[in-house]
Amino acid sequence: MPSRRRLPSLVLIASLLLSAVCAESGAQTWSTSRDDPVLVIEVWTELDPLVADGGLRPVPREVAVERLLDEAVFILSGMIYGFRFVYVPRDPTRRVDEQFDLTPYATIVRGDPRLDVLQTWVSDDRLYARISYTVDEQQRAWYRGWRSAANASATGVGTAGFFEGPAVKHETARDAIRGAIHSHVRSLELNRPRRIEGAVLIAEGPISGIRSGHYETRLSVLLQVDEITRYGHY
């Protein structure tokens, strides 16, 4: 992949912090017009969580920003490049534990000048951020390739225990991808397979909330199943 200039990640963090202060003061959302398509997602993290996770409470703004950026980079990288996956479903009868490996094809970095903070605001003790990424020509070709192919679509809901604290919220996106793969394979296979390998791309931004004692994220994905290994007969 061609190299390009990268701004220090501290610049992005500083802009997010400053934007948060402005948003609380009633500043308007800003955007810029560009020729390349722009992906925009919305993420949030708790500032004063009900359950502490061993850190300070309320959560320092710098820590909250780090969590937002980690989640945004994971989601946007998954929307542009996608992942390879290996999934071994749990099978209690055979005493097989579930295993899920997710490996990114590539990732964007915090200092990438195409990664922008459009807006932040605080509501109900949550710090929200609307974050965009401008797709370059090479990424655009990859992005279009996924959407032009006859890939299956699926939706998954991922969860993490609310009482484990806000640091685990980011795990729900990964679990939602696993859930989408699990749901899709169940529609293909009558019996529980031994192992599934393939590729997956996040199709849309996440929808996250807190429900029934869990952090919850819903994700839609595009799937390419390359190999399904079945159990032999007893």
pLDDT at 15 over 80: no
Cα(111)–Cα(163) distance, rounded to whole angstroms? 33
Long-range CB pairs of 145-153, under 8 A, 24+ apart, other chains included:
146/82, 146/201, 146/222, 147/222, 149/224, 151/201, 151/222, 151/223, 151/224, 152/184, 152/222, 152/223, 152/224, 152/225, 153/203, 153/220, 153/221, 153/222, 153/223
Q: Which amino acid is at 73?
A: V
Place of tokens 């032999």: 232
Token readout for 164 is 């484990």
Proportion of the chain above pLDDT 90, given as a percent: 50
Residues paired with residue 93 on neighbouring β-strands, in sequence order: none
Long-range CB pairs of 88-93, under 8 A, 24+ apart, other chains included:
88/194, 88/195, 88/196, 89/182, 89/185, 89/192, 89/193, 89/196, 91/192
pLDDT tier at 55, thresholds 50, 70, 90: low
pLDDT, one tens digit per residue, over 93-108 is: 888 889 999 999 999 9
HSE-CB for 60 with a 13 A CA cutoff? 6
Nearest to 150 by CA among 228, 77, 223, 226: 223
Q: Determine which of 34-38, 153-157, 202-206 has the lowest per-residue pLDDT on average.
A: 34-38
At residue 53, the pLDDT reads 63
Cα(129)–Cα(5) distance, rounded to whole angstroms? 24
Sign of CA dihedral 98, 160, 21, 29: positive
Place of tokens 């992949």: 1
Decide which of 14 and 146 is more confident.
146
CB atoms within 10 A of CB 185: 19
> Chain-wide mean pLDDT for the chain?
82
Q: Determine which of 14-18, 165-169, 225-229 has the lowest per-residue pLDDT on average.
A: 14-18
Nearest to 73 by CA among 119, 48, 106, 32: 106
CB atoms within 10 A of CB 134: 18
Judged by DSSP in three states, 207 sits in strand
pLDDT, one tens digit per residue, over 187-229 is: 888 788 889 999 999 999 999 999 988 999 999 999 999 999 8
